[in-house]
A and B are shown apart, each in its own frame.
Chain A
Amino acid sequence: METKRDMMVKVPVREQDPKVRAANFEEVCLGYNKEEAMAEAERCLNCKNAKCIAGCPVSIDIPAFIQEVKNGALEEAARVIARASALPAVCGRVCPQETQCEGLCIRGIKGEPVSIGKLERFVADWSREHGFVPEAPEKTNGKKVAVIGSGPCGLTCAGDLAKLGYEVTIFEALHEAGGVLTYGIPEFRLPKADVVQPEIDNVKKLGVRIETNVVIGKSVTIDELMEEEGFKAVFIGSGAGLPKFMGIPGENANGVFSANEYLTRSNLMKAFREDYDTPLMIGKNVVVVGGGNVAMDAARTALRLGAEVHIVYRRSEKELPARAEEVHHAKEEGIKFDLLTNPVEILTDDNGWVSGIICRRMELGEPDESGRRRPVEQAGSDFRIDADTVIMALGTSPNPLISATTEGLSVNRWKCIIADEKDGKTTKEGVYAGGDAVTGAATVILAMEAGRAGARGIDEYLSGKR
């Protein structure tokens, strides 16, 4: 007998059992099937002045696509999303929806908001499985645009420009496209072969060329691209890939890694697989320093490789910058959280290997300029955690290589490229920028929004220039 469903709560999403998934790299969240998606879509009130749209950085017409899902018209739903987003299978998985679309959903006032992210993901996965592809433009306008970086920002910008008829080439420094989607976010959150690669292929189907192994500023400069290779405009979406270290004693010991290195070895180089050549140090006792999504990803990767993992973060649980879902998953899998704790020294053995980490207890003081309560050291509270591996996930900043080799391109004091938020215009004519290269490390969807704005800016610039 069917019981009446509680419309105040989300249709639950199927997930791998924590005990099982802690030992594999397969996707944790299994997503909705058609019945579940249609049932969840029923919960959408189809608001006239839908607040959720305002919460989406690329303004997907959320109620419109959800109504299509409700009726089972999935190809139509995919079309609605494709008008605004080039990477729905990615964003449905990695966006912090709780602070974006779902955070503004009316249903969320009295109950749980509509599971917009999971519905978007379902539509995107359905499209891929059913061979729905975006339509390529009929003919190009013959104008060449270069996009630097193939992360979410560059892919979005390139896709939009291609749809407008431009001949777009993406230049990528690594040997694979995708940026952080490929080297940073692990398989268990974002499957590479099944999700990332097909979305990149969709951008290629729009006519975008991707040239890998080109380091802009070294292999070729932006000035050379514009003066010698005929590119009429350039979009910089090179991200913020330079890792930070703490500068504490012992940080160069063997066994201390940046999260970027650890994740690059594991995700891009597939070091966790026997048939790949790149090695990865698999510790038994791993300490991850930091509280963002990157820290969660590094910790959960180490766990899957068989380690016991501690996350050390200097503020409290409330201030953890990581997505709520990721923190929840990390805890379920058995990651230990040492909150209000800050490392002061890394200990080494006689051979230069990490043997432990000295941490200091913190308490929260007055709010600082960012509005978060400043952590204050508690005197005499030092204690030791045994560790053979320490992973530093303290954030990243933009690589100065491009700004240093491009005449007339200005950066601020954090080496972020100065660009207009509305159209990505930089201080150099014909050069536009967006994403983490401009804002410093942020989110996938904000990078996509900036890529979209940059494409608009470039189109206005080049169509006015006719």
Chain B
Amino acid sequence: MYQILKAEKLADKIYLMVVEAPRIARSCEPGEFVIVKIDEEGERVPLTICDYDREKGTVTIVFQTVGASTQRMSDLKAGDAFRDFVGPLGNPSEFVKEDPETLKKKKILFVAGGVGAAPVYPQVKWMKEHGIDVDVIVGSKTKDLLILTEEMEKQAGSLYITTDDGSFGHKGMVTEVITDLVESQGKKYDTCVAIGPMIMMKFVCLLTKKLAIPTVVSLNPIMVDGTGMCGACRVTVGDKVKFACVDGPEFDGHLVNFDEAMKRQQLYRTQEGRAMLRIQEGDTHHGGCGHCGGEE
């Protein structure tokens, strides 16, 4: 069992948990992920590592409730435990292997959408630890859904916050901020790292391709084992089929087939909806609607 040491609600539907997992804390790097499973009946849920403390032996995860499993996870409190917590999985971000002195000469832009701020955070923190100032754009739908902005402020060279509805920071999408930085403020970037919902990464990539900024994205397809044995997470990158769990999760965003990836994310939408209804309506849900299979 993997003890939860801290459980905190960061924003509407977004939760942070600090979990005791010494083996993972010792070996993980920015860009990698873990798989958590609540209990015997639970499913395996992949989550990017948000932070880690090698000495305390802890790993921090951030998740948004999007379905039945994450909803169940959000009910856990400090003192509870996950039955299974495995990792680190996937590959570290490329820059972890690079020489910090070379990196210092580069202009790097990080773009985080929504809960994507969580996986961006350890990368920005790593940069700061190695003396590299990077620009960071954090975007969300509205002010109440912004997370980790104070933490990000401490680690970023420059931080730009934007909300779709203008309730905090700039008003508009992250792509508009990128355009503004490059075209109005004359900034030049050697590389961009964009992590967030698939649709946001797709549009960032369309833009950065036009602006000729090489862009890395972190994909979040459906996964089961997360160790390369099933191919549930396969994505098309360039003309090759890759397994995101072992070949990624980070890829060259300009080569990713986002439309296919987004379709594959929808695979279990019906089942997920049913599972969610069971949780929300419990025993009262007996499928009177006739559409959701609850009557079976």
Contact = CB atoms under 8 A, between A and B. Distances in A.
Whether chain B is bound by chain A comes out as yes
Contacts of B271: 279-281
A242 B228 contact: yes
Interface in A227-262: 241-243, 245, 247, 251-252, 254-255, 257-258, 260-261
A260 B86 contact: no
Contacts of B72: 277
Interface in A191-215: 212-215
B9 interface: no
Interface in B37-87: 37, 41-44, 68-69, 72, 83-87
A213 B234 contact: no
B41 A254 contact: no
Contacts of B268: 279, 281
A260 B68 contact: no
Interface string B217-233: 00000001101111110
A242 B43 CA distance: 21
Nearest to A212: B84
B154 to A, nearest CB: 29
Contact of B83 (A175, A258, A276): A175
A128 to B, nearest CB: 22
Nearest to A274: B296
B236 interface: yes
A242 B44 CA distance: 19
Contacts of B87: 215, 218-219
Contact of B224 (A247, A265, A275, A277): A265
B88 A218 contact: yes
Contacts of A214: 23, 86
Contacts of A8: none
B145 interface: no
Interface string B24-47: 101100001000010001111000
B42 A277 contact: yes
Q: Is the interface of B mostly helix, strand, loop or mixed?
A: mixed
B207 interface: no
Contact of A254 (B69, B88, B263): B263
A258 B227 contact: no
Interface residues of B, number: 42
A320 interface: no
Contact of A281 (B41, B86, B246, B267): B267
B82 to A, nearest CB: 10
Contacts, number: 113
A196 to B, nearest CB: 16
B41 A252 contact: no
Interface in A346-368: 351-352
A352 B231 contact: no
B89 interface: yes
Interface string A161-181: 000000000000111000000
B231 A174 contact: no
A269 B229 contact: no
A399 interface: yes
A173 B234 CA distance: 20
B260 interface: yes
A219 B225 contact: no
Contacts of B260: 252, 352
B86 A213 contact: yes
Contacts of A218: 27, 32, 87-89
Contacts of B69: 277
A255 B231 CA distance: 12
Contacts of B246: 399, 401
A289 B93 CA distance: 36
B248 to A, nearest CB: 14
Nearest to A247: B241
Q: Sorted from nearest, which 7 A-B pairs have the closest CB atoms?
A: A279-B271, A261-B230, A352-B263, A241-B229, A213-B86, A278-B43, A175-B84
Interface of B: 23-24, 26-27, 32, 37, 41-44, 68-69, 72, 83-89, 224-225, 227-232, 234-236, 241, 246, 260, 263-264, 266-268, 271-272, 275
15 contacts: A212-B84, A214-B23, A214-B86, A215-B227, A218-B27, A218-B88, A242-B229, A254-B264, A257-B231, A257-B232, A265-B224, A279-B43, A280-B271, A281-B268, A352-B263
